[in-house]
Amino acid sequence: MAKEIVELTDANFETEVLRSGVPVMVDFWAVWCGPCRAVAPVVEALAKEYEGRFKVGKMNVDDHPDTPGRYGIMSIPTLLFFKGGRQVGQVVGAVPRAKIETEMKRHM
């Protein structure tokens, strides 16, 4: 995982995401998920490009099921966007970089 990406867990989600001083994009994924692997390089590139202005975290849904359940994650990859402790956006599926980046910019 790139150094710009925070590994999220059920235990650190509140601190890293809900209490973050900058907007956060959370990538809900799993090792066995092909579309998740397809979107991973895009997520990493955006994490590097927006470092300091947008926090990017990844949460493995198999290892940490409580948080995805709380947010109703039914399909992966799902990207949730948070600002000020609230969910403000969502992108589901392996979508083009432009769609993800547009959603990020909406919440900066």
Residues tagged active-site:
33, 36
Backbone φ, ψ for residue 86 (5° rounding):
-125, 150
Backbone angles phi, psi at 17, to 5 degrees: -110, -60
- Whether the Cβ atoms of residue 46 and residue 95 lie closer than 8 Å to each other: no
Q: DSSP characters for 41-52? A: HHHHHHHHHTTT
Query: What H or E segment, with its residue span, contains residue 100?
Result: helix 97-106
How far apart CA 90 and CA 2 sit, in angstroms, is: 22
